[in-house]
Structure 1
Amino acid sequence: MAIHFYILFVYLLIAFYMDVRYSKIPNWLTISGVVVGLLYHVATGLIGGLLFSLLGIVISLFVLILLYLFKALSAGDVKLFAGIGAISGMEFSLYGILYSVIVAGLIGLILIIIFKVNPLKILVYQIYNKVLIILKKEAKYTRERFLELKVKQFPFMYAVIPGILITLYYF
Structure 2
Amino acid sequence: MLIHSFLILVLTITLITDILSRKILNIITFPAMLLGIGYHTYINGLEGLTFSLIGLLVGFTILLIPFLLGGIGAGDVKLMAAIGALMGAQFVFYAFLLTALIGGIISIFLMLKNRTLFPFFKRIYFKLIYKQQLATEPRKKHISIPYGVPIVLGTFIVMFWGGI
Structures share fold, TM-score greater than 0.5: yes
Question: Which residue of 1 is the match for residue 151 of structure 2?
Answer: 160
**What do you get for the CA RMSD once the two structures are aligned?**
1.6
Question: Which residue of 1 is the match for residue 61 of structure 2?
Answer: 62
1:163 partner letter:
G
Q: How does 1:11-160 map to 2 (within 5 A)?
A: 11-116=10-115, 150=141, 152-160=143-151
**Helix, strand or coil at the partner of 1:43:** helix
- Deviation string 1:13-71 (CA, Å, 9 cap, x unpaired) is 11111111111112121111101111111111111111110000111111210111122
**Helix, strand or coil at the partner of 2:114:** helix
TM-score (norm 1): 0.76
Moved over 6 A (4+): none
Instruction: Structure 2: give runs of 5+ residues left out of the alignment.
Output: 117-139
- Deviation string 1:141-166 (CA, Å, 9 cap, x unpaired) is xxxxxxxx845111112212221122
**Helix, strand or coil at the partner of 2:79:** helix
Deviation at 1:72, TM superposition (A): 1.9
Q: Quote the Cα distance in structure 2 between the aligned partners of 1:99 and 1:162.
A: 8
Q: Is the 8 A contact 2:111 2:143 kept in 1?
A: no
Question: Which residue of 2 is the match for residue 125 of structure 1?
Answer: none
Q: Quote the Cα distance in structure 1 between the aligned partners of 2:15 and 2:142.
A: 20
TM-score (norm 2): 0.79
Between the two proteins, the alignment pairs up a number of residues equal to 139
Give yes or no for the alignment of 1:170 onto 2:159. Answer: no
